[in-house]
Amino acid sequence: MLTALALLALAGCGSSGGSSSGTAASTGGGAESSTPGTTTKSSPTPDTAAAKGREQVTLAVPSSLAGGSLSSPHQVEVPQGWTASVWARPEGARMLAVTPEGNLLVSEPGNGVVLELAGGKVAESENIVLSGLESPQGLAFAERNGGWVLYVGESNQIDAYPWSAGKAGKQEVIAPDLPDKEPSGDDIHRQKDVVVAADGTVYFDVGSSSNASPADRGYDPPRGVIDSVSPSGGEVKVVMQGVRNGEGLAVAPDGSVWTAVNNRDEIEYPFHQEAEGHSDAFGEVVRSYVDNHPPDEVAQVKQGRDLGWPLCNPEQADSTPPGSFADVPLIADAENNPDGKALDCAGLPPIEVGLPAHSAPLGMSFLAGTKVPAPWSGGAVLAAHGSWDRQEPRPPAVLWLRWDEKNHTLLPAQTLVGGFQEADGERWGRPVDVVPGPAGELFVSDDTAGAIYKLAPPR
């Protein structure tokens, strides 16, 4: 049975299939160039940089858990000495959380349930903890008034369940009537992630209704935001706006809250330059640019902050040095802010960490205080779902981002676990969430294979 563990709330993507932003910091398309609209092979991708000290291992699949896309053997890339195995096979597994008793909760938005799994080498029991929910996704445990509470993000509300002796008590709705199916647009993001800060404040995301419509910023209540509410309910407050789909919520070692954001698709070329046969490609859809822009985002959640979407986009060509995914500046969106007057993008803080465009970052967890060994304990892990519409598919992966303790920030990502995509671009798995286990292992959910993987470091 899983034993007790540091309880960090994790999150995942806003659409139960492919995210509308799709990719990971892994191989597949070469490095992002600092020259707008082009790609090069001149510098390593994050995946190549992380390949040092990595090896391919066969994913161990117990016969009782084989089937579907896990019927045939698969090779995964892991840090040297690590092992990878299939631990459970819940259908449509999304977000994860560890209970106070040390078991693993898994949300299944498509089935409206939250499962509890327990076991050793494999999950030996599976029980439905909650059912009849509206597309539940985010899960988080925290103490409130001396007792444990399970917070659940349904697509239309945030719930709190007193937790005692391994059972959920009566539902308390602490944030009702959230934007869900309405208002709707061309790319609605319904699911909600949830995380609890050290002071008990509950943070959750309200995803956009669209790929890139400014109307989301004007809805009442607005979409494309990170909201907060007190642990017992009350007024819902907008904390941060301009967040297209910020489902990867997690709490850093210094107590700050962070989000991983799926950025927009089909971005128009923002420069008055020649590209792909256009003498002035400004406002055109230039495929080589779209494939690598805009970066997905990992950003600190701060009161009053604006990430700019859909009026501003991060542009790695303007980073220092050009092409860097650290502190990525924002520039005006050619479609929604062509003259830069709708929002002063240069006046917004840069994005702390960019991820290669269309990585589709989902659940995130910081590893400080867990039994995960160094150097991995000195950072955060992040599940990247992989692209859905990139010309050369961006592979799914589990990423690792070092925590810069001195500067209280995350550094650009490396690939921790790869191999979910075949050479022809077909995927047999797509990670959604990743959480640390009690013995220093990592548990990874996969909604494509319908699996929970156990990644174990050497002992």
Question: Can you give the pLDDT at residue 42?
Answer: 30
Which H or E run includes 159? strand 158-164
Q: What is the pLDDT of residues 330-341, one digit of tens each?
A: 999 999 999 999
Query: Residue 309's pLDDT is what?
Result: 98
CB within 8 Å of 350: residues ≥ 6 apart: 314, 319, 327, 328, 329, 330
Residue 115 near residue 106 (C-beta atoms within 8 A): yes
pLDDT at 47 over 80: no
What φ, ψ does residue 61 adopt, rounded to 5°?
-125, 105
* Residue 8 placed within a domain: no
Nearest to 109 by CA among 236, 211, 6, 11: 11
Q: Is residue 88 part of a domain?
A: yes
Which CATH number belongs to the domain containing residue 331 in this structure? 2.120.10.30
pLDDT at position 36 is 52
Average pLDDT over residues 104-126: 97
Rounded Cα distance between 111 and 401, Å, is 32
pLDDT at 321: 97
Can you give the residue range of the structural domain that contains 117?
31-456
The count of residues in the chain is 459
Direct distance between the N- and C-terminal alpha carbons of the chain, in angstroms, rounded to an integer:
19
Look at residue 15 and tell me if it is in a domain.
Answer: no
Residue 11 in any domain: the answer is: no
Computed over every residue of the chain, the mean pLDDT equals 90
Among 22-26, 174-178, 215-219, 392-396, the least confident range:
22-26
pLDDT digits (tens, 9 = 90+) for 164-183: 999 999 999 999 999 999 99
Q: What is the pLDDT of residue 22?
A: 32
Residue at 35 is within a domain: yes
The predicted pLDDT at position 30 comes to 35
Q: Is residue 138 part of a domain?
A: yes
CA-to-CA distance for 186 and 198, rounded, in angstroms? 36
| Predicted pLDDT of residue 225 | 98
- Say whether pLDDT at 395 is over 70: yes
Q: Is the predicted pLDDT of residue 26 greater than 70, yes or no?
A: no
Helix, strand counts (H, E) of the chain: 2, 33
How many CA atoms lie within 13 Å of 27's alpha carbon, on the beta-carbon side? 13
Q: Please name every residue paired with 172 in a beta bridge, in sequence order, or none if there are none.
A: 160
For residue 117, what are its two tokens?
């799994």
Distances in whole angstroms, Cα of residue 141 to Cα of each of 150, 155, 265, 332, 414: 5, 18, 34, 39, 28
* Nearest Cα residue to 357 out of 231, 262, 222: 262
Decide: helix, strand or coil at residue 88. Answer: strand
HSE-CB for 13 with a 13 A CA cutoff: 35
- Helix spans in 9-125 (H): 46-50
| Total domain count, the chain | 1
254 phi/psi in degrees, rounded to 5? -90, 5
Q: Above 70 in pLDDT, residue 10?
A: no
Whether residue 12 is predicted with pLDDT greater than 90 in this model: the reply is no
pLDDT, mean of residues 41-66: 70
This prediction has a pTM of 0.90
Q: Say what the pLDDT of residue 389 is.
A: 79
Contact 297, 362 (CB under 8 A): no
pLDDT: which is higher, 312 or 22: 312
Percent of the chain surpassing pLDDT 70? 89
- Rg, Å, the chain Cα set: 20
SS3 category, 215: helix
Question: 420-450, pLDDT tens digit by residue?
Answer: 999 998 999 999 999 999 889 999 999 999 9
* pLDDT tens, residue by residue, 198-237: 999 999 999 999 999 999 999 999 999 999 999 999 999 9
What distance in Å separates the CA atoms of residue 342 and residue 19, rounded to the nearest whole number? 27
CA geometry: angle 294, 241, 412, nearest 5 deg: 40
Is 366 a member of any domain? yes
Distance, in Å, from the CA atom of 188 to the CA atom of 175, rounded to the nearest integer, reads 20
DSSP E strands in 20-146: the ranges are 31-32, 39-40, 54-58, 75-79, 83-88, 96-98, 104-108, 113-119, 123-130, 139-144
Q: Which residue has the higher pLDDT, 19 or 352?
A: 352
Give the 3-state secondary structure of 297-347. Answer: EEEEECCCEECCCCCEEECHHHCCCCCCCEEECEEECCCCCCCCCCCCHHH
283 domain-assigned? yes
pLDDT at 33 over 90: no
